[in-house]
Amino acid sequence: MTETDFDPQALRTLLANLVGPDDGRFALTRIAGGQSNPTYFLDYGDRNLVLRKQPNGPILKGAHAVDREYRVLSALAPTDVPVPKPVLFHDDARAIGTPFYLMERVEGRIFTDTSLSDLPRDRRHGIWMTVADTLAAMHRLRPDEVGLSDYGRPGSYFERQIRRWDGQYRASPSGPLPEIEEVHAWLVEQMPPDDGLVSLCHGDFRLGNLVFHPDEDRVVAILDWELSTLGHPLADLGFCAMPWHSTPHEYGGLLGKDLTALGLPTEGEFVGRYMTSAPFDAPLLPFHKAFALYRFAVIFVGIADRAKAGTAAGDKAEGLGPLALAFARRAREVALDLPHAL
């Protein structure tokens, strides 16, 4: 049994009452790598499951919304958008200290290295094109057709998001970062007019949150829906394009690598593939990419705060604090059309 941030026996007792006995098969394994909601593999009876819960300790209002994750999984399970099958949501924190949910485990491959170095060179370009296709397919889904018409407020998405992330940044006990504040001011000034585009937005759509088929180059599950909402599709696309604007030392980016030699697409090729099947023809602007980098900077501020408080979900959270400044600087480069510093 792996080390947990709750009493495993309390979970076992609860599940025996909710889903039946485990017939002697009960095992928990903490999944490393995530920095937000603690996640575990759960072997229970004849089922292979995944448990996701809120972190212990104080959390910001609206953060770590496992109830929203479970809702969107339930809505998408019958569709062609690949997600793990939801099993159970439990909102009573008395059992294991926080709300949690269970979903079925999806077997497959997860690539955390954006350069796909474990794959043959001739397979890498295709994987990234599949990422673009999957994102476009998700954005083609109409939220009102799957019961998600009230999953967020349509319209004024970037205005509300910038206000939200600025609020989270200013609620941080850490000192101010001038680079974040400069980019925030630029985003407010350069915000494009609302064009009316609304889609289901994942909020953290990146290579490491996709499960690929064990043998085929197709996505079988999109993971980590914590930040999902109704929003603007170019927010997801801008976020997914971040590897081309960050170095390998900055959360595993591609900046500075020889893309041609590695068999990897350029940002233009990736975005172009997405646009071939996207349900709109609006262009990806520097604003969308700068917003994505700015938002990631604020997220890293929160990770650093939780590391200081001892409540971070990931075991490497303490070393991620400097990435807040790094991504704020990358956002500034994109915003002001400056050369990327390597």
Q: How far, in Å, CA of 327 to CA of 186, rounded? A: 15
Q: How far, in Å, CA of 251 to CA of 242, rounded? A: 10
Q: How far, in Å, CA of 130 to CA of 217, rounded? A: 7
pLDDT digits (tens, 9 = 90+) for 126-169: 999 999 999 999 999 999 999 999 999 888 999 999 999 999 99
Q: Does the pLDDT value for residue 315 go beyond 70?
A: no
- Who has greater pLDDT, 305 or 96? 96
Say which residues have a Cβ less than 8 Å from residue 181's Cβ, sequence separation at least 6.
none
Lowest mean pLDDT across 263-267, 272-276, 295-299: 295-299
Quickly list H helices, the chain. Answer: 8-18, 66-76, 121-140, 157-170, 178-190, 233-240, 259-262, 267-277, 286-309, 323-335
Q: Does the pLDDT value for residue 333 go beyond 80?
A: yes
Per-residue pLDDT at 319:
62
Q: Return the domain boundaries, the chain.
A: 8-104, 121-335
Give 262: exposed, middle or buried? Use CB within 10 Å, 0-12, 13-18, 19+: middle
pLDDT digits (tens, 9 = 90+) for 56-113: 877 666 667 899 999 999 999 999 999 999 999 999 999 999 999 999 999 999 999 9
Per-residue pLDDT at 12:
97
121-335: CATH, from 3.40.50.2000, 2.30.22.10, 3.10.180.10, 3.90.1200.10:
3.90.1200.10
Q: Does the pLDDT value for residue 317 go beyond 60?
A: no
Polymer length in residues for the chain: 342
Q: How far, in Å, CA of 76 to CA of 78, rounded? A: 6
> Which is the CATH superfamily of the domain at 8-104?
Phosphorylase Kinase; domain 1 (3.30.200.20)
* Cβ atoms of residues 298 and 147 within 8 Å: no
Q: Is 10 left (phi over 0), alpha (psi -120 to 50) or beta?
A: alpha
